[in-house]
Amino acid sequence: MLTIWGRLNSHNVKKVVWLAEELRLNYQRHDVGCAFGMDDAYSAKNPNALIPTIEDGDVVLWESNAILRFLAARHGGDALWPADPVQRALADRWMDWQFGYAEAQRPAFHGLVRRSPEQRDPAAIEQATVTCNRMMKVLDAALSLQPWLSGAEFGLGDIPMGVYAHTFFALGLAREPLPHASSWYERLKTRPGFAANVMIPLT
Ligand SMILES: N[C@@H](CCC(=O)N[C@@H](CS)C(=O)NCC(=O)O)C(=O)O
């Protein structure tokens, strides 16, 4: 049984839960982080005081994208995380790229979702929105050449940015048409693990 610690309204936790469902793993999730706090037992597993953390048999692991790679490699065979180094690297780069995107989107997410209107910084939200649109155009151009960020098939490379793209579209941050990114997002919505765990109200 896989154990996942982390509140589900966290982007980084959503990634892990979505993958667990793609892999049809038996798992239990415990709410940790923000209002749920972190006890000493949790801090002993993850010295960063961040979520998510998993325990899978003999392994305790933190860092969401490392968790994705580990679970796919251990439980997924070749399907979501191809052994071929070229295919793998072309998908993997989107997983690293996501951390830069997350930095760009954070002021918009926190400003619009986690702050009251009086606490908002409109200039920071505007700057974040401009940067996110610029980055999403890069993603849109990639998806004009292939159906998935992972290549011809859905895979691990789609999961981190899939989670952040939901926030981008759900917050209405798009300033201009992103036809390929939009149709990729529509296809993600048909995946049960995405619909159930990523497309939840933003809080
Ligand atoms: N690079 C880390 C970042 C983890 C992270 O920043 N997690 C946030 C939530 S998305 C967190 O733990 N925030 C503090 C909290 O929830 O108490 C990862 O990908 O796992």
DSSP bridge pairs for 3: 28, 55
Average pLDDT score over residue span 179-191: 98
Q: Is the peptide bond before 52 cis (omega within 30 degrees of 0)?
A: yes
Task: Name the architecture of domain 85-197.
Answer: Up-down Bundle (1.20)
Ligand 1, atom 11, lies closest to the CA of: 50
DSSP bridge pairs for 27: 2
Euclidean distance between the first and the last CA atom of the chain, given in angstroms as a whole number: 28
Ligand 1 atom having least distance to the Cα of 62: 20
Instruction: Using the mean position of ligand 1's atoms as its centre, give its distance from the Cα of residue 47 in Å.
Output: 12
> Could you please report the per-residue DSSP string of 17-42?
HHHHHHTT--EEEE--SGGG---HHH
pLDDT at 77: 87
Return the SS3 of 150.
Answer: coil
**Residue-wise pLDDT tens digits, 96-143:** 999 999 999 999 999 999 999 999 999 999 999 999 999 999 999 999
pLDDT at 189: 98
Q: Does domain 2-75 have CATH number 1.10.287.610?
A: no
- Which residues lie closer than 8 Å to 187 by C-beta, 6 or more apart? 147
Ranges in the chain annotated CATH 1.20.1050.10? 85-197
Instruction: Using the mean position of ligand 1's atoms as its centre, give its distance from the Cα of residue 51 in Å.
Output: 5
Ligand 1, atom 16, lies closest to the CA of: 33
**Residue-wise pLDDT tens digits, 56-106:** 999 999 999 999 999 999 999 888 999 999 999 999 999 999 999 999 999
Ligand 1, atom 15, lies closest to the CA of: 33
* Confidence tier at 41 by pLDDT (50, 70, 90): very high
Q: Cα separation of 4 and 62, whole Å? A: 10
- Look over the chain and give the mean of its residue pLDDT values, rounded to a whole number: 98
More confident of the two residues 78 and 7 = 7
pLDDT of 164 > 90? The answer is: yes
